[in-house]
Structure 1
Amino acid sequence: MRKVLESLQRGAHAGLVLDRFGPLAPTDEKNLPERKDRHLTAVLEAAGSGATRELYALAFERRRSTSDPELSRSFQRSVDGAMVIGLGIASTLEAGLRLHQTYGVPFVPGSSIKGLAAHWCHRVLGDDRGGEHREAPLWRKEGDYHRFLFGTTEACGAIVFEDAWPIPNSIAGANGGLRREVMTPHHLDWQGGKGAPTDFDSPTPVGFLSMVGRYDFRITWNGPPAESATIAGWLDRAAEIVSCALVDWGIGAKTSSGFGRMVEAETGNRANAIATVAVAPVGNRADKRSSGTPARVTLVAARPKGGFDVQEEGRALGTLTLGTSPAGLSPEIGMTVDVQVHNDDPVKPQYKWPVASKPAKSVPPSKRR
């Protein structure tokens, strides 16, 4: 009966084959490696069958056509070698792989992209380079720019990092964008707490699958209403951060072994990309204004100790913490309000609420001269 069940067609959805149609439990461990190898082969065959390829191509085009170019940015990057996403997720084998639940294709979750970008921003843009990078604290984890882009535990960020889907024609090969790999841990007994590692331990081959192809990365504006130039500036900055992190650090598991690195889809360029991210704040200007100059800002986030993070058109992200709002005004996130400049710092401008003018005292006619 086992041989009959193993010979059945397991399906054409690679994700289902990998996660649900694992090798049948053997009565002994003698043929277990061969069974696992056949299971990986079945996954590759399902991915390369093309049964869901046409449906996925339609879904990919529909997803791309619904994006608003004024509120999103997209770019393509190719895998330089191979990439592993989801190696540690639950699987019928020792190593997992992240495949799309509907279409069975490999993809990069948006949460992974956001985590990579946030960490790269903190480590790279947050490095003050010996005092040369004045705005570095703003890009660190607790800095205003970092909190604005990526959010905090209390509030969401201004950017949505969407799942990266593979370009349909880049996974149209025999294995559907997947590739067989092998790792050889040498000290399984030691890792299992059964003794010290020695040079006489034999390697244990463990097969797993990796991802190849070209991927479409997409970010979308999720911040408050703002001027189009302001939104475009933050979107461009976020896209640059993601792109540089993919090229410089890579994404997914086993990046220290060369997995997960990306190159530009058109040129194959893998040069260090840190220098391509401008470190000056969005909209930096040299024309410094005096205190009290009228300005109009958008309230983008509430600050933990009171006040707001605000965005003025053409200026860096600033703060509004001084004074009190005018009578009858209930400030809300996304609202555009009239304020005054307090300190027109090009890195982090500060604003204040206008001081309400006091009504002139009326003088009785009898006391007038």
Structure 2
Amino acid sequence: MTRVLSTLADQDGLLPGAHPGLTLDKYGLCCDEQLGKVDLQKDVQKPVIEQIVRLSNDPPLSRPEFDLLFSRWKATIGSVGFTGKTAGPLTLHLTRASALENAGICLHRIYGFVYLPGTGLKGLARSFACEVWLGEQPNKAAAWQKINAVFGAAPSPWLNDLAKRHEQPVPKEASVGAVVFHDAWPERWPRLVTDILNNHHTKYYSDGAAPGDWEDPVPVYFLSVEPGTPFRFAVAPRRNDADSAELVTLAREWLIGGLTQLGAGAKTASGYGDFIIEEPEIKPIRPANRPTFTATLELVTPAFLAGAKQQADDCDLRPSTLRGQLRWWWRTLHAGFVSVDDLRKMEAAIWGDTKTGGAVRVTVREVPGTRQVSSYDRRQVIRHHRIPQPTDGSIPGLAYHSYGMDDAKGRRHYVEPGAKWKVAVTARTSRFADKVVSSEIILRQATTALQLLPQFGGVGAKSRKGFGSFADLSDFDLGAVRRVATEYRTACGFGENEFSDQLALSPSLQLMLGPVEIPTEGTNSWVALNELAASVQQFVKWVQPKHCRRWLGLPRRLRGATGPRVAHESRHASPAVFHFARAADGCLVARVVAFPAAELPNVAESRHILGDLLKALQSDLPQRFDAIRPPPQSPPSPRPAGLSKRPSGTLVQVSILGKRVKGGFDVQEAGRNPGTLTLGTPTPGADTGDGKPVMVWILDDKPDKPQYKWPDAPKQGKK
């Protein structure tokens, strides 16, 4: 316990046992100024954060030492405690003074592990008590007195405004609270991870530009605690008197309500700081004034998900990823009806901005046992799923739409179809200018975006190419979606204003073409993705004049193309969004929508080229799916009468039907059902061409699918 923690750095990095907190504040290695142009996030922020992660994940205290320290702390506070486990990532104190920008975290000054300060927990409990619990109490005056008794009161503008909003008297004198909120300590050394947020519309939020699809994302790196980390929370009476027991019980309920309903720390609207209280005797408060919508999202096609490391362990659906997609689809509801400035203000009232906290909180919890992660090897996928090579010399469609996912920089990881996540969306009352917008209206805005995402879109890289598609949530009504959008604009004071092409500077649902739906009558998502991409590739190849191909998104290489140039030519996401849904029989359905873009190069021309794309897919895709549809399978033939099962090792003659993808051959013996020849080494000199007869041994004489093996080579005599 008296181990000295080093804070010095050598030439190769930090010495083992260096204190992560001091490294974060003072001793983080910085970039070399001689490098020239420096990217603050990539060259400074990320390397230092990775140093902190390495130090924190190699704790200076062994497990027995930490357990002893924790038990001493737990015995010392001797209070009413409970354990909460992080359901998602946790971060806090991002803006505390450190050597980095917005990348701080609360680390113990002596030992260096993450903990939650009691001051922050007291504020969280008070926020829940005042903003949630108080509104549901029939006797507001008595409830207000209990809140002041628990937390104390210090006259201030904040308290005056809070009392005015709840029509309660302002305390005239300062008083100390009757309950003490202790720091929350981790029950095991918490593991830090490098986290990331990507702002895809920097100029929209900062400069008032349109939220177009041509901006480069700006990554922001910071520290967070991994999900599943248990923390011990504790509250205690300040005095041992008759009233303290009731107040401590209330304080405990409010703290649990804050942890489970509001979230602890920073970025709580994006699902950070969500806790699960696993102690059965504790029943978290479910506030009626904060309505919640829950749904389960299930992957239909593979999703290229990734965190800061882009490795298998962070290939997961992160709440910030889902929230970003919901904001994008929400903007399609209102783009073209209001100006960009009003759109940004309307968005802030629901989703928040740098000055206003969001009125919608989104949490994501993985359904255990459903997420499987694989490394993407395009060639291996093509071989395994028997995807044929194009006969015209072009690349396979799968390579066309998954470009860059397995390039020289490294292969991306993907989540297999079938993964599920439980999503909860909670809303509170908000304001737009001087107008109050109810929590019910706010929730309908968020849930409508949550319906649009699995209906047309996807998550992760290449999500507009059909990857990362979710199963439909419920019966979808586009008319109802538009009525929900009108409801919010009316609540904000815009009324039923008319749509204008000149205002539609970003994708708009009002301009959306489609949806076009083409059933595949198959269940293999890789095959379906390949055929869809091949059809798109064929359309792009034959588009004339060539300059029109730019209108399908950039970057796109066009040699010798002439014609109108596209604004922001360096980058522009595809205006066509490809998606796969699942029909009632389990077969996949290709669903395509397109958003005419003012930037590609104008709405009229964009509508024309995208309309041609949808018509081409409607004509070409059904033929492609018919060509790959497997023939109906007949039930296996029974063993012919009078034929008994032959023992293993019987020598027979079979004919080669063809090679198997995983090795070996499909074969058939005269008078028997087709079987497989997978074991052993081919007999020297044997002709294994299709239709050729070879001698083999019976391995398992199954009536429906017999198995064979090559005869063992004769053993050489000893010399």
The two structures have a TM-score, normalised by structure 1, of 0.62
Task: Kindly state the Cα deviation for residue 78 of structure 1 after the two structures are TM-superposed.
Answer: 0.2
CA pair 148-7 structure 1, distance change in 2 beyond 3 A: closer
Map residues 67-146 of structure 1 onto 2, 5 A cutoff.
Answer: 67-68=77-78, 72-94=79-101, 95-128=103-136, 133-139=137-143, 143-146=144-147
Task: Kindly state the Cα deviation for residue 51 of structure 1 after the two structures are TM-superposed.
Answer: 1.2
Task: Kindly state the Cα deviation for residue 9 of structure 1 after the two structures are TM-superposed.
Answer: 2.6
CA pair 257-106 structure 1, distance change in 2 beyond 3 A: same
Name the amino acid aligned to 2:151: F
Question: What whole-Å deviation, never above 9, does each CA across 1:76-126 have from its counterpart, x for those lacking one?
Answer: 000011111111112222221111111111111111111111111112221
8 A Cα contact 2:85 2:275, kept in partner: yes
Aligned to 2:58: 49
Q: Choose from 213, 233, 254 the match for 2:246.
A: 233
Map residues 252-263 of structure 1 onto 2, 5 A cutoff.
Answer: 252-263=265-276
Task: Kindly state the Cα deviation for residue 272 of structure 1 after the two structures are TM-superposed.
Answer: 6.2
- Structure 2's unaligned 5+ residue stretches are 1-8, 155-173, 289-719
8 A Cα contact 1:17 1:46, kept in partner: no
8 A Cα contact 2:31 2:43, kept in partner: no
Aligned to 2:27: 21
Aligned to 1:290: none
Aligned to 1:221: 237
8 A Cα contact 1:162 1:219, kept in partner: yes
8 A Cα contact 1:255 1:261, kept in partner: yes
Task: Kindly state the Cα deviation for residue 218 of structure 1 after the two structures are TM-superposed.
Answer: 0.6
Distance 2:268 2:175 in 1: 31
Name the amino acid aligned to 1:115: G
Distance 1:117 1:4 in 2: 44
8 A Cα contact 2:193 2:223, kept in partner: yes
Greater shift, 56-65 or 22-31, is seen at: 22-31
Map residues 1-369 of structure 1 onto 2, 5 A cutoff.
Answer: 5-9=11-15, 11-27=17-33, 28-30=36-38, 32=40, 33-53=42-62, 55-68=65-78, 72-94=79-101, 95-128=103-136, 133-139=137-143, 143-153=144-154, 154-168=174-188, 171=189, 176-188=190-202, 196=209, 198-199=211-212, 200-212=214-226, 213-223=229-239, 225-227=240-242, 230-265=243-278, 273-274=285-286
Task: Kindly state the Cα deviation for residue 64 of structure 1 after the two structures are TM-superposed.
Answer: 1.1
Q: Which secondary structure state, in structure 2, belongs to the residue aligned with residue 93 of structure 1?
A: coil
Task: Kindly state the Cα deviation for residue 37 of structure 1 after the two structures are TM-superposed.
Answer: 2.6
CA pair 273-125 structure 1, distance change in 2 beyond 3 A: closer
Q: Which secondary structure state, in structure 2, belongs to the residue aligned with residue 64 of structure 1?
A: helix
Greater shift, 32-41 or 241-250, is seen at: 32-41
Distance 1:25 1:47 in 2: 21
Distance 1:188 1:91 in 2: 24
Task: Kindly state the Cα deviation for residue 196 of structure 1 after the two structures are TM-superposed.
Answer: 3.4
Distance 2:29 2:201 in 1: 25
Q: Which structure has greater helix proportion?
A: 2
Q: Which secondary structure state, in structure 2, belongs to the residue aligned with residue 76 of structure 1?
A: strand
CA pair 11-248 structure 1, distance change in 2 beyond 3 A: same
Distance 2:274 2:14 in 1: 38
Q: Which secondary structure state, in structure 2, belongs to the residue aligned with residue 96 of structure 1?
A: coil
Q: Which secondary structure state, in structure 1, belongs to the residue aligned with residue 135 of structure 2?
A: coil
Task: Kindly state the Cα deviation for residue 274 of structure 1 after the two structures are TM-superposed.
Answer: 2.6
Task: Kindly state the Cα deviation for residue 4 of structure 1 after the two structures are TM-superposed.
Answer: 6.9
8 A Cα contact 1:87 1:96, kept in partner: yes
- Structure 1's unaligned 5+ residue stretches are 277-369
Distance 1:80 1:146 in 2: 28
Distance 1:257 1:242 in 2: 20
Identical pairs, percent: 28
Name the amino acid aligned to 1:104: G
8 A Cα contact 1:159 1:220, kept in partner: yes
Q: Which secondary structure state, in structure 2, belongs to the residue aligned with residue 84 of structure 1?
A: coil
Distance 2:21 2:125 in 1: 27
Name the amino acid aligned to 1:184: N
Task: Kindly state the Cα deviation for residue 57 of structure 1 after the two structures are TM-superposed.
Answer: 3.2
CA pair 34-275 structure 1, distance change in 2 beyond 3 A: closer
Task: Kindly state the Cα deviation for residue 250 of structure 1 after the two structures are TM-superposed.
Answer: 1.0
Distance 1:4 1:233 in 2: 55
Distance 2:261 2:110 in 1: 31
Q: Which secondary structure state, in structure 2, belongs to the residue aligned with residue 107 of structure 1?
A: coil
Distance 1:98 1:248 in 2: 22
Aligned to 2:381: none
CA pair 63-185 structure 1, distance change in 2 beyond 3 A: same
8 A Cα contact 1:83 1:259, kept in partner: yes
Distance 1:93 1:261 in 2: 25
Question: What whole-Å deviation, never above 9, does each CA across 1:220-272 have from its counterpart, x for those lacking one?
Answer: 1114x413xx43222222111111221111111111111111002457x9x96
Distance 2:279 2:232 in 1: 13
Name the amino acid aligned to 2:108: H
Structural RMSD (CA) = 2.8
Distance 1:4 1:66 in 2: 39
Question: What whole-Å deviation, never above 9, does each CA across 1:273-293 have from its counterpart, x for those lacking one?
Answer: 3379xxxxxxxxxxxxxxxxx
Q: Which secondary structure state, in structure 1, belongs to the residue aligned with residue 199 of structure 2?
A: coil
8 A Cα contact 1:10 1:17, kept in partner: no
Distance 1:85 1:219 in 2: 20
8 A Cα contact 2:31 2:44, kept in partner: no
Tell me the matched-pair count: 252
Name the amino acid aligned to 2:80: R
8 A Cα contact 1:87 1:253, kept in partner: yes
Distance 1:210 1:186 in 2: 21
Distance 2:126 2:86 in 1: 21
CA pair 4-158 structure 1, distance change in 2 beyond 3 A: closer
Larger Cα Rg: Structure 1 or Structure 2? Answer: 2
Q: Which secondary structure state, in structure 1, belongs to the residue aligned with residue 216 of structure 2?
A: coil
Distance 1:221 1:38 in 2: 44
Distance 2:192 2:141 in 1: 41
Name the amino acid aligned to 2:77: S
Name the amino acid aligned to 1:252: G
8 A Cα contact 2:132 2:287, kept in partner: no
Distance 2:285 2:48 in 1: 39
Distance 1:274 1:14 in 2: 38
8 A Cα contact 1:12 1:52, kept in partner: no
The two structures have a TM-score, normalised by structure 2, of 0.33
